[in-house]
Chains A and B, each alone.
Chain A
Amino acid sequence: MRKEWLARIVVIVLVALALAIPLTAWWVRSQESVIHGRMAETGGWTPENLTVEVGQPLHLRLTSDDVTHGFAVGQSDQPPVDVIPGEMTDVTLTFDKPGKYTFYCTRWCSVNHWRMRGTIEVTGPDTVVEPVKPPLYVTLGLDIDADHHAEVVPERKPSATLGAQLGVDIPIEYQSQDYYRSHSPVELWQDLREESHLSGLSDQEIWDLMALVWQSNTTSQALKKGQQLYKTNCAACHGETGAGDGVFADQLDQPQTGEHTGMQAGEMTTRPIDFTDPGHMLSASPAHLQGKILRGGMGTGMPYWGPIFTDEQTWALVAYLWTFQFKLEN
């Protein structure tokens, strides 16, 4: 009987150890800030809302429960990090300004990849709510959801270099940033076409002048920055070449099936815009494109990037989008 009791004690001790070790570890771990990433369809980030005080370091342990995700904080200089399945990635964030920041996934994890977002609320004793400045498309009163189509399109891709080689003067009012941002390429082309001193130029040469104006409103650095942003955030749907044929394009375009979940591909989504289509692009102003980027496309599946991109990043991205229509680089 003594051996029997000894055996029972052995069983109890081993089973208790089998439970106690992970339970203790679980408790210790619950004291850490671990953020789990999952595809948006199965939960996204958990937890998705964090708070921290200004100037206080926020230590995060990031892990993925399914596929590789990325982690970045919108409108900050924090470089993105990969979040590997089953591994821990440590990140420390410090915010010097109060506000509500958005963290998001930077890897194309699923068709709903852009929905993987969470917020970090940064509070401080001197929290001042800055007045919200309305975006340009609101100020201009643009209806960015209205259909638009260019009546005239160039025969070939307009070239800023060829425009410069013409050696003609372009009225200064067309070269201002305000004009550039608030007018579509077709509007500029029409304005230039009506200029008497340019009447000797062909339609295509006017398009080249138009490209020159667009080029003068950006820089090589901005185009590079825009290209990087585009590849990271837009190409999944719009495609590397801008033709609206990214890896998720077909899923977004498929007919809706099943019940409304808000997560199914094809549900309230449409095929991504083709940036190489001159009819569509040449009738949109930079303010229009910026509005779409900031607000997203209602009922199309186009995400809103307002909380992610800085103003400078948004305009850089807009500038890059024109490269699908114009030759802007020298």
Chain B
Amino acid sequence: MNKSQEITWEERISGGKGDRIKPARFALPQRIDLYHISGIRPLLESRWPQFLLRALTLAGFIFTIFAGLFGSRVGSHNFSIIFVWIAWWTALKLVFIPLGGRSWCSVCPIPLPGEWLQQGGILDKGTRRFGLNLRWPKRLKGSWLQSGGFLLIGLFSALTLTDTRLTAWILLGLFGLAFVLSVVFERRAFCSYICPIGGFSGIYAKTAPVEVRVIDTAICTTHSEKTCYQNCSWGLYPVALRDSAQCGLCMECLRSCPQDNIAFNLRPFGSDLGQVHLSRHLDEAFLALVMLGSALVFSAVFIGPWGGLKSAAFAIGSTPWLLYGLAFLTLNLVVIPSFFALAVWSGERWSASKIQLRQAIASQSQVLLPLGLFAWIAFTISFALPKMNYVLSVISDPLGWGWNLLGTANTTWSPDVSAFSSILQVSLLMVGLFWSASIARRLAIRNSSPDYRQALPTLAFCLVFSVVMLWLLVG
């Protein structure tokens, strides 16, 4: 019997006895270190479970591209449209991000060929990194490009979400871009700075109940090799992690730490939120605002009753589409950011805060995250769940060629959410709004000069957004 089997479960989750699990490691409150639970640890410590998932998603990804290129052009009968825009997109918003943060990033197939080439192996890492390994340009750091990518998705969404060939070419393009960037730049440059889904997952990962964190920072300061940093595909140094936005949960730091000083924690939802930002970088604030604006536009285009708007969004290159694009960009680049900046400025003036406006905007943008996440979930309830029968259908006939492999090709059953979707959506948005309010309160308390007046205009902004979103979804 080894030592890990001698300690009790309570000792394990609280960092009980043993030479590798020490009480001092339970540094953060309200955390359960999953990595130090014996039943879970082997799944994370071994690269094989994660690798097998990655290999499966890679094969599925290649199949998806093939289906998009050569299968039926009818989106509802093509694996690429249904699995990318209905099944995966729904799973991402309803499961992966809310429960696992950037958990999808840990098995995402897009960067894998580049990463494996870069590190000279799939499981074993070669002694020499392949490629130029250049540092990512400082000017391009942050999530600006990811915001731009998400805006591009919004501009072309109506066509992208229905056109099988276009979906396949986009996936192929992302695949190629990630590969090229892996050859030119070090580590996961594509995932960190380009991938719009990475940006989406990243900011909402702050709300998620999982995190990778150093247990005892004192141990790290005395460790000169920094094996965690050396092995991190994302180029992160775990000691410096303040939130989970950038961590792709690759788990390499846990595997490589010689002191077993890194935890994979289960934590309360939204633990990263409510900290007063010292940074004046506005990239994450902008990304959060783009997410709100995109949720509004997606709801209007895909759920709203306006056929003209739907047609305009679909007719790429036409005058109506140009007007749609202009309105979409104006909303996201001007209207929403201006109103939010005005709200934060008003709060600062009202409370006589001495924080600089940029810093205040960066801090207050955290308030937008719970609401944004729940707005996307509420949108998904209406948009994707009624189409779930297509998932069963394309499993049996993935290319729309009239197959019925599993006998589910003619499935018509879908979750009937019509009876309670309105109540569900209102409830979800209310949960998001109240959660955002609690973050605003937390920020107000933690400010150098606690004052609730600072939070009120931001909350008013959230309230207006919620009302508009509700009108679009159930109005």
Contact = CB atoms under 8 A, between A and B. Distances in A.
Nearest to B399: A22
A29 B401 contact: yes
Interface stretch (A6-14, A121-129, A248-256): A6-14
B231 interface: no
A38 B73 CA distance: 10
Contact of B123 (A4, A19, A23, A64): A4
A17 B59 contact: yes
A311 B259 CA distance: 92
A7 B123 contact: yes
Nearest to B56: A14
Interface stretch (A82-90, A163-171, A272-280): A82-90
Contacts of B123: 3-4, 7
A14 B66 CA distance: 14
A25 interface: yes
A3 B72 CA distance: 39
Contacts, number: 77
Contacts of A10: 51-52, 55
Given A1-B124, A7-B123, A85 B76 contact: yes
A85 B59 contact: no
B124 A3 contact: yes
Given A63-B402, A87-B77, A7 B59 contact: no
B457 interface: no
B18 interface: no
A34 B400 CA distance: 12
Contact of A88 (B56, B58, B401): B401
B70 interface: yes
B59 A15 contact: yes
Interface string B26-57: 00000000000000000000001001100110
Interface in A186-219: none
A19 B66 contact: yes
Contacts of B402: 61, 63, 87-88
Nearest to B125: A4
A21 B60 CA distance: 12
A86 B76 contact: yes
A18 B78 CA distance: 15
Interface in A48-69: 61, 63-66
B121 A85 contact: no
A8 B73 CA distance: 33
Given A18-B63, A63-B402, A66-B73, A4 B78 contact: no
26 contacts: A4-B122, A4-B124, A7-B123, A10-B55, A11-B58, A11-B122, A14-B55, A14-B59, A15-B58, A19-B62, A22-B66, A22-B71, A22-B398, A25-B399, A26-B70, A29-B401, A61-B402, A63-B72, A64-B74, A65-B72, A85-B74, A85-B76, A85-B77, A86-B72, A86-B74, A86-B76
